[in-house]
Amino acid sequence: MFLVLQNIGIPGLILILILALIIFGPKKLPEIGRAFGQTLREFKKSARDLTSDVDEEPKKKIN
């Protein structure tokens, strides 16, 4: 899935934005973007917390 997202490029992003505008309409689009941004932020935070927990575990065993 991530491989597909890496190969989209600018024209693909513009096409996705136009399709979203047609499907959801201009009034709903900012709301959807905000929700997507919050979800992405939470995902990144969880991933960062998980990797920091994994990095700290070996240090605890050494000390």
Per-residue pLDDT tens for 22-32? Answer: 999 989 989 98
Query: pLDDT-derived band of residue 62, with 50, 70 and 90 as boundaries?
Result: low
The alpha carbon of residue 31 and the mean position of all alpha carbons in its chain are separated, in whole angstroms, by 16
Contacts of the segment 16-20: beta carbons below 8 A, 24+ positions apart: none
For the chain, the average pLDDT equals: 81
What is the mean pLDDT of the segment spanning 15-27? 90
DSSP-derived letter for residue 14 is: H
Residue 41 has pLDDT above 80, yes or no: yes
Q: How many domains does the chain have?
A: 1
Q: Classify the C-alpha dihedral 23-18-31-9 as positive or negative.
A: positive
Residue 47 has pLDDT above 80, yes or no: yes
Q: Report residue 19 as tokens.
A: 């399709």
Alpha-carbon span 24 to 32, nearest angstrom: 9
Q: Report residue 4 as tokens.
A: 């597909």
Domain hosting residue 20, numbered range: 2-62
Residue 39 has pLDDT above 80, yes or no: yes
Q: Quote the pLDDT of residue 55.
A: 64
